Amino acid sequence: MVIHLEDRWFRQLHDAAHRVRTRHYGKAPRYRAHFIGTGGTRNTKSFRSRRDAERWLVRTEVAHLLDGEA
């Protein structure tokens, strides 16, 4: 299971103190959440806020874990 949250407006340079704008800056939803399950199924969804993206990832992970127990 792989979980990843991507900021589409900025990317980090080699050191964490510096970041640069991407071509997506100011456009479209800012965050993209990725969830890849153990079976290889991939879920991707875009969000305007980081909080909404993190909530979706948690809900998706919990649903995946509960499905695995059944």
3-class secondary structure, 58: helix
CA angle 22, 48, 17 (to 5 degrees): 45
Torsion sign (Cα): 27, 7, 5, 50: negative
Rounded to whole angstroms, the Cα distance separating 31 from 22 reads 13
The predicted pLDDT at position 70 comes to: 44
12-55 pLDDT, tens digit per residue, is 887 777 888 888 898 889 999 998 877 788 889 999 999 999 99
This prediction's pTM: 0.74
Six token digits for residue 39: 């079976």
